[in-house]
Amino acid sequence: MKLIIKNGRYINPATGADDILDVYVEDGLVKEVAKNIEKDADKIEDATGCIVIPGLIDLHTHLREPGFEHKETIKSGCEAAAAGGYTTICAMPNTKPACDSADTVKYILDKAAQAKVNVLPIGAVTKGQQGKELADIKGMKEAGICAISEDGKSVMDAALYKEAMEIAAKEKLPVFAHCEEITMVKGCVVNAGKLADALGVGGVSNDVEDVIATRDIGLSLMTGARLHLCHCSTKESVNYIKKGKDGGALLTAEICPHHFVLTEDMVDLKDSNYKMNPPVRTREDVEALKNGIKEGIIDAISTDHAPHAKDEKDKGFLNAPCGIVGLETAFALSYTYLVKEGYIDLKRLVEMMSCNPAKILETDKGDISVGKPADIAIIDIDNAYKIDINKFHSKSNNSPFDGYEVFGKIKRTIVNGNVVYEA
C-alpha cells in the first residue's frame, strides 16, 4: 500500500517541523516528507487546510472487554479511538475477569489484532484488583503489558503497593496510579462542597486524591519505579507533581479534558453524565490544572474513556456508575479549551496527546519522521462543529458534551499506513 498525504500542515514535534509538506507512506512506514512529492501511489489523501500530526496515543482507555461487552468491546472501542484520531490506546485492566494474568493479556491482544488501532493492555497490580495479593506482573510483562495499574481504585495496602513498585522498577514497567483514599470518600463521588451538600452527602474532597498522590510519589522515590499519575483533578496535585519532579521522582502526570473544561458550577445533578471519578472540581482547581499544563508540569492529556450503558447511567446521580466516554471528543475539547484559549500552542498539544504518551510507553510512536510507523491523524482545526453524541462510534454515548461547539474535527486516521477512519 502506497499512500501520499498532500498539502497538509505537517506538525512533528519530535523534529520541530511545522510546514506545508507532503508525506509519502509505503509498507506501513513514513518513507518521505517533502514539498510536492510526485510518486505513484495507491491512494492520495488531500489534506489541504488540515493539520497532519502523529496519531494520538491514549494512556487511559476502558475497553470493557472481557466481561462488560454491553458497554464497549475491543472492536467498538477501537472504532471510537480511530474516529477520535487515536492510533494507539492503552486498555485499563478493570474488566471481568480483571486483566491480572498472562492469559487475559493474550486474550486482549488476540482480539486487538483484528481491531482498527493499536491496543496496549495494562495489567492489574493485584489479583482480581482485590488489593490482597500481587498479580503475576512479570508474566504479564512477558505477555505484552505496557504498564500496571489498579485503575478504578487505589491499592490501599502501602506495603503491597511498594512491593509491586519494586517489581515494576525491575521489569521496567510504569505504574499508572488512580489516587483515591477510599476511607475518605463520603456517600457519593461528587465534589465535596455545594454539590455534595445538595445531594446530602459528604462527597470527595481534594484531600481524597492528594493524600494518595503524595503517598505514591513517596513510594516511587523509595523504589525507583516510574510513576504516572492518572486523571489529576486538584490544584494541590499540580504542586505535588512539581515538587516530586524537582525532588527527582521518575514522575509523569495526565489530565483529562473533562477536568479542565468543566467546573462544579456546570454540573447538572439531574444528569449523571456529569458523574466521573475523580469528580469535576472548582474553578480554582481548573485554573490551576490549566496552568500546570501551560507550565509543562503536566505531561499528557488522556481520556479516561469510560463507557457505561444508558440504563446504568439512568440510575440517578447517587447510584449511577462513574465515567464518561472521551475518545471521540478529547482532541476537539483540548484544542478548543487549551489552544484556542491561549494556554498552549498546537505543537505542545500534539506533544501532550502523542509524543509524551509515546515516551511514557517507551515506544517509537508519536513521531512521523522518515522510517517511523505511519500512524497519522489528519484534522481540520479551522471549522467549528457541534459534538453529537448520537454519532459516536463507541457502543456507549455517556458524555456531558453533547451540543458543544468545538474546533478540531478528525478527517482521517491512519494506522500502519492504512486509512482506518474517514469522516
Tell me the catalytic residues.
Answer: 304
DSSP state of 351: I
322 binds ligand DOR, rule: CB under 6 A: yes
* Residue with smaller CB distance to ligand DOR, 62 or 226: 62
Which part of the chain contacts ligand DOR (CB under 6 A), choosing from 50-58, 202-210, 319-327, 398-406?
A: 319-327
* Angle at CA of residue 106, ends 109 and 82, nearest 5°: 15
DSSP per-residue string spanning 201-250: S-BB-HHHHHHHHHHHHHHHHHH---EEE-S---HHHHHHHHHHHHTT--
Burial class of residue 167 (count of CB atoms within 10 Å of its CB; 0-12, 13-18, 19+): buried
276 binds ligand DOR, rule: CB under 6 A: yes
Near Zn ion by CB under 5 A: residue from 58, 79, 150, 151? 151
254 binds Zn ion, rule: CB under 5 A: no
**Alpha carbons 150 and 154: distance in angstroms, whole number:** 6
Q: Which positions from 89 to 118 touch ligand DOR by CB under 6 A, shown as an x/- string?
A: -----x------------------------
304 binds Zn ion, rule: CB under 5 A: yes
Find which of ligand DOR, Zn ion, none residue 322 binds, CB within 5 to 8 Å per kind.
ligand DOR
How many Cβ atoms from other residues are within 10 Å of residue 147's Cβ? 24
* Residue with smaller CB distance to ligand DOR, 93 or 417: 93
Residue 212, CB-side half-sphere exposure with 13 Å CA sphere: 29
281 binds ligand DOR, rule: CB under 6 A: no
Of 177-236, which residues contact ligand DOR (CB under 6 A)?
178
Contact between 253 and 228 (Cβ < 8 Å): yes
62 binds ligand DOR, rule: CB under 6 A: yes
Residue 374, CB-side half-sphere exposure with 13 Å CA sphere: 23
Of 157-196, which residues contact Zn ion (CB under 5 A)?
178
- How many helices and strands (H and E) does the chain possess? 13, 16
Using CB positions, name the residue nearest to ligand DOR: 323
255 binds ligand DOR, rule: CB under 6 A: no
* Binding stretches for ligand DOR (CB under 6 A): 62, 94, 151-152, 178, 276-277, 304, 306, 321-323
